[in-house]
Copies of this chain bind each other. A is one copy, B any other.
Amino acid sequence: MLEKGPARAMQTKTVLVGSLPVGGNSPLSIQSMWKKPLSGLTEELVAEVGGLASLGCDILRFAVPDMGSAEVLGGLARRVAIPLVADIHFDHKLALRCMDFPIAKIRINPGNIGARWKVEEVVRKALDKNIPIRVGVNHGSLPKHLADEADSAAAMVKAAEEEIEVLESLGFGNIVISLKSSDTESTVAANRLFARRFAYPLHIGVTEAGPLIPGVVRSTLAFSSLLAEGIGNTLRVSLSDTSEAEVLTAREILSALGLRKKGIRLVSCPRCGRAGFDVHGFLAKTQRRLMALDKNLTVAVMGCVVNGPGEARHADLGITGAGNKAMIFRRGQMVRSLPEEEAIEFFFAELDGM
């Protein structure tokens, strides 16, 4: 068993998820999970997956509940560059089939696959194809003998340890681990405890974190605690919302913690009774386009003359309302005052040149 000293990200093993390294000194990667059934390999599916990748999704996971889904996922893996992960429960044949395709990782818990020979078949094929396995321990689905343990963090680590022992006994060490609870504190405690004892890379996340607001709050709290201690190698924000929201949240957490340099940093005002410029409307029309830009810039979108010009001046590019005009600031200089309806295109034209 791989043991290590004080928890530091760089002390974990490195696992290759497709061609993407996870763990060791690799950059933190962002992942999400597909929210819909895999009903067919359509151009729309290929385009949507590409769109998520362009927003910053580094790894994308799919539930594979049946053989039809395995076929679609396999076909998709041949079409897209982003590493795809097959998430499988109960049926080892699904895992075997997925590994006939260029799948980057499988997520499977040996404990819910059943008979030892089934696990052995899966592990043998994963070894043969050099495909890593993520063992995903969730507090909501612990094995029966651990489900009622008072110390939920210890119970989760124990569950992971039992799964790891099965894999290691078969000579398999190409492992990523996750320990998730819907409770922030026990998620943090379980990952901390695990990182002290094992050197396998950690996929971190708060599971069933809730709708957008609670989910973002809980994920931010858990990730900021863990990442400050160097724990966590790949991140999944889990929201009862879109995958785009999950990816943007992870990006934002990493940016705010200074762990990600790429991408637009948006500063924008909450709007109040003073606002002349429709900040919410401008953001609704432009936010996705802004977030897909691969530039490292601060952009300010402000509503009025109280804080607007000040914030807009501190940003690389700023827009603020004044009367029925929009003023555009570029690195501290007002470059144009123009009617609101012409502002969006001028704004993006300026960004293009930066």
A→B interface (CB under 8 Å):
33-38, 62-65, 69, 87, 89, 138-142, 147, 182, 184, 207-218, 220-221, 224, 238-241, 245-246, 248-249, 252-253, 256-257, 265-275, 279-280, 283, 287, 300-302, 306-308, 310-311, 314
Contacts and interface: CB of A to CB of B under 8 A. Distances in A.
Contacts of A311: 140, 182, 208
B142 A310 contact: yes
Nearest to A312: B140
Contacts of A37: 273
Given A65-B274, A252-B214, A269 B220 contact: no
Given A138-B307, A141-B307, A270 B221 contact: no
A223 to B, nearest CB: 9
- Top 3 closest pairs, chain A to chain B, by CB: A140-B310, A63-B273, A140-B311
Contact of A283 (B34, B182, B240, B279): B240
Contact of A241 (B89, B140, B215, B280): B280
28 contacts: A33-B272, A34-B272, A62-B273, A63-B272, A87-B272, A89-B274, A89-B306, A139-B314, A140-B314, A141-B307, A182-B267, A184-B256, A207-B307, A209-B267, A209-B270, A211-B268, A212-B216, A213-B245, A214-B266, A218-B252, A220-B221, A221-B256, A221-B257, A238-B269, A239-B270, A240-B268, A240-B270, A240-B283
